Structure 1
């Protein structure tokens, strides 16, 4: 208000911002930096707004159908009702509770829902973070796998290159030998040709000599002619033995490559390895480390102890693999069901889906229920695991003399995986096997 003239606050502020700080009616300028408020008018406006809010609240607290105050809460329809509504057909048979009780019950229920939703929100955030990290890990995993593939092929390329160089060198060597032989043969033939030419000249001279002279020299000329060996016309074996170099070349090279290639009947699945286990690049050995790797928390991974499974499921037939234990003093080896829990710690027992042999504290034990202590004449440096799925046996041998250490018997109902555990920094290594090539002739 200025000069007792009142204006809307928003209109007055717009006018004030233009710099023309004077009354729009009488054009008088105010004595204060800011226009004073009309307290009486402001109080009237606030009272009107409060009355409107109170009226709106009262309307909300009353039933829309009957105008009565909402005093009950229908437990079936989940809505507040008045006393008239309770006696109506819509709610007559429904259970109801007082508003005060319903409010507390609803608050408790909403609080529980809020808590559950917050847990879900936290889980979703965790899953989102895990998914983001897993995407990054997959990219890293792909690059590392490609690097290892290239490394393996570089080794094969090197073997092929060496074999190619050796075979080309063999051809060149034979070429040099054949050409040297031809040169020696030509040299001998040239000498023989020279001798024949000289003998011809000598005979022609004798034919022109006197008869007595001819007769005197006849025997010598005849002996000279007889001493000339007949020229060899045998030209066999002079060419390059092309068949020797090209016959079944790819097959022969493949056999040579097998001498440089290891075949391992079982390999490890890195996606199942506990973060404390370090696997070799070719996935045939494992060892324990106190520093965990930054692998993702995927469902297939063993989370509770230093375990890893083989990469191939075994559901039929007979299988075996040999593990070099060496100086490792803490290990379990054998087979496990594909469905064994990966995120909880359970005993490696047959009833839990494990058929294993344990070496710990210098003692061998078959992990039965309870474990069976085994007596062995000497501690083997290798253990052979033999699974006969159809016969239902998991057996352990000392491959040095094929002596049986222990055998489990069980009727398997699901696929099995090779199983490994260690808490030693000394590696367990799956031994390669010799590959034999058999040609079927029909």
Structure 2
């Protein structure tokens, strides 16, 4: 059982015993401490003042062994700390911090060639600076952890959304193909019915022709029989009946023996059948030059199933926080990249009283709110509070004789012009001139529950003849 440290402490120096001696009064002291006390002339115990019987008191070997064991234990526990505090090369205390090599050094190291030209600072100052840097690094790393956790949550949400997106897209594809199938079935039924109708008409015609031929054949047979009988009569009888018999033979007029056109007109039904069906299907198909990209739409924008119209809802939809999406404002772009050539599309604004239309650069920020101005990569026409404005810097008010229900947007990328028209009379509302260098996207904004709708265009089929 170990003794308390106070039992191993000299009453004179208040430190662990060094070479302890034992007096007759049972008190122990360091040999050197007791000698200093007795050098004053009084040979007595410094604690109880009892006179000592011996000038050279015996060593307290048991106490000495215990104290040496304690000191040894202390030295062993302090050795690593001392090693850490001292230079491994020179054994001197590490008092400086090299700013270049980012390590503590001693004064001898500072004078060496290795660190002589390096900036150094006291360890105390370096500790504060390094702690600040580590705290900053810790914050940066923690921010990265938070960002990764957020991305991880977003990724999980996106995985679920991708599944629902795929199911919804498949459903809409099936609906459109069902509509196409229905048109094809109706067209097939109509063409089969046309063949059946022609078959019935041709069969009725053939029956009439056969009936007509049978009547003619009967008449001719009877006339032949009469002539044959007359040839058998007496000459005078034959002569008396000659005129009547001859007139009867001449009165028979045969019908047309033209048999053309009686068969079914197969060519009419099969000639370029697939092409003519496809041409007929175009009457049931809409084509829009611009299609909205739902992956860029702000959560409060509701897009139609065919991605050609949008309106604002106060109830945001549950969609992932993907980088392409506009997060701050009710915006969406189309998926049609415009990097050259001429393009146009017509938007029906109807009763919508709050909208912006035009084009935006591919690189416009999606997670921050910026003004729709040319310097920010936007070229737009705005209608708000009953007023039209060209979104220049600053915006330019426009005076129109009437409020159009449709707006035509026309871009000539190579010439660097973007124009807005009233398609009713093709009058120019406003125009931008700019040297475009980046890919553009059709741009839409609204905070109205009344929809904006991209108008379909007529599809014209042109045959090229070699």
Indicate the TM-score class for this superposition, using the shorter chain for normalisation. 0.7 to 0.9
Aligned residue in 1 for 2:459 = 435
Measured in 1, the distance between the counterparts of 2:431 and 2:232 equals 107
Aligned residue in 1 for 2:207 = 183
- Shift of the 214–242 alpha-carbon distance from structure 1 to 2, 3 Å rule, reads same
TM-score, length of structure 2 as denominator length: 0.79
Q: Map of 1:110-149 to 2, 5 A cutoff?
A: 110-149=134-173
Aligned residue in 1 for 2:61 = none
Answer 1 or 2: higher relative contact order, Cα 8 Å, separation at least 6.
1
> Does residue 1:222 correspond to 2:241, yes or no?
no
Q: CA deviation at 1:211?
A: 4.3
Measured in 1, the distance between the counterparts of 2:389 and 2:124 equals 67
Q: CA deviation at 1:341?
A: 2.0
Question: Which consecutive residues of structure 1, in runs of 5 or more, have no partner in the other structure?
Answer: 2-43
> Does residue 1:392 correspond to 2:416, yes or no?
yes
Q: CA deviation at 1:363?
A: 1.5
Aligned residue in 2 for 1:193 = 217
TM-score, length of structure 1 as denominator length: 0.83
SS at match of 1:259: helix
Q: Deviations over 1:198-256 (max 9, x none)?
A: 33333333444444544444444333333322253211101111221122222222221
Q: CA deviation at 1:381?
A: 0.8
Measured in 2, the distance between the counterparts of 1:110 and 1:294 equals 40
Measured in 1, the distance between the counterparts of 2:220 and 2:358 equals 86
Equivalent residues, number:
401
Aligned residue in 1 for 2:189 = 165
Q: Map of 1:34-433 to 2, 5 A cutoff?
A: 52-433=76-457
The answer to which of 195-204 and 347-356 deviates more is: 195-204
- Shift of the 299–46 alpha-carbon distance from structure 1 to 2, 3 Å rule, reads farther
Aligned residue in 2 for 1:31 = none
SS at match of 1:404: strand
Q: CA deviation at 1:170?
A: 1.1
- Shift of the 113–211 alpha-carbon distance from structure 1 to 2, 3 Å rule, reads same
Q: Map of 1:6-45 to 2, 5 A cutoff?
A: none
- Shift of the 211–78 alpha-carbon distance from structure 1 to 2, 3 Å rule, reads same
Measured in 2, the distance between the counterparts of 1:211 and 1:269 equals 105
Structure number, greater radius of gyration: 2
Q: Cα RMSD between the aligned structures? A: 2.6
- Shift of the 410–87 alpha-carbon distance from structure 1 to 2, 3 Å rule, reads closer
Aligned residue in 1 for 2:28 = none
Q: CA deviation at 1:293?
A: 2.0
Q: Deviations over 1:66-114 (max 9, x none)?
A: 3333333333222233333333343333333333333232222211111
Q: CA deviation at 1:181?
A: 0.8
The answer to which of 74-83 and 177-186 deviates more is: 74-83
Q: Deviations over 1:371-393 (max 9, x none)?
A: 22222222111111122223322
The answer to which of 158-167 and 143-152 deviates more is: 143-152
SS at match of 1:130: helix
SS at match of 1:126: helix
Measured in 2, the distance between the counterparts of 1:234 and 1:192 equals 15
Q: Deviations over 1:301-329 (max 9, x none)?
A: 22211111122122233222111111111
Q: Deviations over 1:10-51 (max 9, x none)?
A: xxxxxxxxxxxxxxxxxxxxxxxxxxxxxxxxxx99998666
Measured in 1, the distance between the counterparts of 2:117 and 2:432 equals 66
The answer to which of 156-165 and 78-87 deviates more is: 78-87
SS at match of 2:372: coil
Measured in 2, the distance between the counterparts of 1:286 and 1:164 equals 36
